[in-house]
Structure 1
Amino acid sequence: MPHLPSSKDHPARLVLDWTQWVWPGPRRVFSEDELARAGQQPWPVSIDYYVLSNVLVLLAINYREMSRHWALLICIAAMALTLGVLGLARILWRRPSRKRLNLISYAGVLGIVLASAPFAHPELSSPELTATLKANRDLVKFVAVFGMSVFLVTYTSFLFLTFIRVQQIEARLRELDEQAHALKLARRLATAQMQPHFLFNTLASVQHWVDTQDPRAGGTLRAFTQYLRATLPMFERESLSLAEELQIVRSYLEVMQARLGERLRWELEIEPGLEAVTVPPGLLLTLAENAIGHGIEPALRGGRVVVRAWRQDQQVVLEVEDDGMGLSSAEPVERLGLSNSRDRLRQLHGEQARLSLLPRAPGALAQVQIPWSAVAGGPAA
């Protein structure tokens, strides 16, 4: 049967490609990583019910046409064959490929040839079987026609199943690639949005302190250098360990404390053993920037920022809390730059991971909840 056209197939190539007439199927071959990434959709069980119910109906319709001696055996054989076919369909669903499709198909052809040999050449069989076949010629014809029909329907179904499944996995891979590309662009955009304001203000402060020989210049420049060394490449990575992320946050807070002076106080409260927990790059940094930019800096009195991390039951909880200006009811939460962080957190740890922004009196609390089962590389429970 000829190969069905795909987006990469040219009509002339289909005509000239003689292999599709003897070895049909999709050309795309998925690697183990691609199947693990995009091929985990469950088998639609409704197909089992549909096929089994139709086979039962066909057997019921043709039951009177069968010999009483063979009816029960034919019914049992038909149901066993149907279950076997559905099992092979599940194999093609999990790992669709041109090679697997044709091996199954040619194995079916070989099985039919071997099974039909006694019917096609009764003289090669025992006298008893020869006499039985001659006495039941109508049954033999029925079985032959029915068997051929079943094979053609099964083969066609397998062929379409393989093509549809390959297209489904290809579409899912494209979707995942587009999501990854969008997140990569979002990370770069976050870097572009984060750096100019913070970098220029910090450099201006350091330049002023150098000109005035302020002792804060040396410490601020060291913290600023550590911050740049850590943050410039971090948005190219899919994840950071909590220890790496906290080092970036620490450098940022040290720089901001040098700039704000006594108006900023900060603490890190980290439960031991969580250093290897993975987080999206810049997650806590974004929350710390929001706490200072929207909470501490607008407040004349300044305020305090606390970064916490601990394990609670089956979750890892990360928090950034400030006692600054708090949330404005007129300002949507998404304006605080958290939408991108939510998307990246969901991409890394699944739909159960949560990022919430809660009001405090005074201030605000940003809380991240990561299921312990989803923590890649986390410490043993």
Structure 2
Amino acid sequence: MISPSASPDAARLDWTQWIFPGPRRVFTEAEILRTGLGRWSTGIDCYVISNVLVLVLVFYPALPRELLLVILIGALAMAALGLAVGRMLWRQPSRTRFNGAAVALGVLMVMVTLAMTKLGLRDQARDLLPFIAGGMTLMVSSWWFLTLYRTQQIGARLAELDAQEERVAMAQRLATAQIQPHFLFNTLASLQHWVDTRDDRAGPMLRSLTRYLRATLPMFERDRLPLEQELQIVRSYLDIMQARLGQRLSWSLDVDEAAKDKVAGASLPPGTLLTLAENAITHGIEPSLRGGHIAVRAWLHEDRLRLEVQDGGQGLRAGACEGLGLGNTRERLRAQFGESARLGLEPAPDAAPGCLVWIEVPAVAAE
């Protein structure tokens, strides 16, 4: 009896599997390339051929002596054929290819048996029939399990990549939302006041804000952003904040001159460095009455790209923990670069005031 909660698809029996077995899903070449899964291993070839030789040795006493060489050559030829079909199914697993290979193997075995009969080897063909049937069963079963395994492997990898891309997309939407409303409102309020009072600072701030918005609004639609563009955005942001905070804020931006082209050509999830700069202002400089200095640095350290944002603000408080911005950035870096990406938050070095947040990713992956 079928439960009322069971879906119609679960209750329906797929009769096609009796006559045309195999997984229904067919992957495109683009999907298979996207998975990045490994190629066919030569170790499988060595394993199969060595097992064929072992089987021949095991059944040696039962084999007709006059056909021993022919059987050995035939077994190796069938192993090579089985491996060739296995590679085909590995590249593109589908029920059509599996069933086509199984039918072709059956036809081939029938033709071999008929040929032996025509050549007057009826008795030998009858003696070899159990071995032929056993070999066919073993080969078709191997193809069947290979097709199922490969289909599940590719499907699982695609599902993992889809979930990963969804996490990255969600992180990007969160990063977009992190263009802080209070930052924009406060900046516009300052700008309006300076315009009303005909303050000379209004013009430069308006130009910096325009550059900032023009760069930041569309950037989160992309998976990666060149570091050179990210640095321009950070410059515009720090220009705006320096105009607002006045003498409470000073900043510097240093890029490794020895590897300037490689550093500038690297790419990261959009908003990565901007988030670090925003955190330094929000949690380091603004709460401090005396303000402080923001130092942004980018350079190559051995085979890794390192980014640092150090502020001279109030420093890490006792019990401070990673906030949404840094947690979001860490997740996006992990989605792009895997476990090789690192992000750290620590007190400023050399007993200096403030704190230091840094990012390291493989330079080759960043390029």
* TM over 0.5, shorter chain: yes
**Correspondence for 1:26:** 23
Distance 1:303 1:37 in 2: 47
Superposed counterparts of 1:320-359, under 5 Å: 320-332=309-321, 334-335=322-323, 337-359=325-347
Distance 1:371 1:178 in 2: 23
Change (3 A) 1:228 1:13: farther
Distance 1:165 1:9 in 2: 24
Change (3 A) 1:160 1:227: same
Quote how far apart the aligned CAs of 1:59 are. Answer: 3.7
Q: Does 1:285 align with 2:274?
A: yes
Contact 1:26 1:97 in 2 (8 A): yes
Quote how far apart the aligned CAs of 1:40 are. Answer: 0.5
Distance 2:324 2:18 in 1: 60
Quote how far apart the aligned CAs of 1:45 are. Answer: 8.7
**Correspondence for 2:360:** 369
Unmatched tracts of structure 2, length 5 or more: 1-6
Superposed counterparts of 1:99-138, under 5 Å: 99-120=96-117, 122=118, 125=119, 130=120, 133=121, 137=123
Distance 2:355 2:66 in 1: 81
Quote how far apart the aligned CAs of 1:94 are. Answer: 3.1
Which residue, 199, 222, 230 being the options, matches 2:184?
Answer: 199
Higher RCO (CA < 8 A, seq sep 6+)? 2
1:260-299, Cα deviation, whole Å (9 max, x unpaired): 1111111111232032211101000001111111111122
Contact 2:296 2:309 in 1 (8 A): yes
Quote how far apart the aligned CAs of 1:65 are. Answer: 1.2
Change (3 A) 1:176 1:29: same
Change (3 A) 1:258 1:50: same
State the superposition RMSD in angstroms. Answer: 3.0
Query: Which residue identity does 1:318 align to in structure 2?
Result: L
Distance 1:92 1:8 in 2: 31
Q: Does 1:159 align with 2:144?
A: yes
1:45-68, Cα deviation, whole Å (9 max, x unpaired): 997788667656644443221233
Q: How many residues align?
A: 354
Distance 1:336 1:327 in 2: 16
Distance 2:142 2:293 in 1: 66
Q: Percent identity?
A: 51
Query: Which residue identity does 1:372 align to in structure 2?
Result: A
Unmatched tracts of structure 1, length 5 or more: 1-6
Which residue, 175, 179, 187 being the options, matches 2:172?
Answer: 187
Distance 2:8 2:34 in 1: 22
Q: Does 1:169 align with 2:158?
A: no
Quote how far apart the aligned CAs of 1:195 are. Answer: 2.5
Q: Does 1:237 align with 2:222?
A: yes
**Correspondence for 2:4:** none
Quote how far apart the aligned CAs of 1:325 are. Answer: 1.9
Distance 2:225 2:290 in 1: 34
Compare 319-328 and 91-100 and name the one that shifted more: 91-100
Query: Which residue identity does 2:319 align to in structure 1?
Result: A
Distance 1:228 1:199 in 2: 10
Distance 1:315 1:370 in 2: 6
Distance 1:168 1:281 in 2: 31
Secondary structure, aligned partner of 1:324: coil
Contact 2:284 2:354 in 1 (8 A): yes
Secondary structure, aligned partner of 2:323: helix
Query: Which residue identity does 1:335 align to in structure 2?
Result: G
Contact 2:113 2:125 in 1 (8 A): no
Contact 2:171 2:332 in 1 (8 A): no
Distance 1:142 1:213 in 2: 106
Change (3 A) 1:9 1:158: farther
1:327-370, Cα deviation, whole Å (9 max, x unpaired): 234112x2262222122112223332222223213222222222
Change (3 A) 1:140 1:241: same
Secondary structure, aligned partner of 1:350: helix
**Correspondence for 1:89:** 86
Distance 1:276 1:370 in 2: 14
Query: Which residue identity does 1:340 align to in structure 2?
Result: N
Change (3 A) 1:266 1:37: same
Compare 247-256 and 359-368 and name the one that shifted more: 359-368
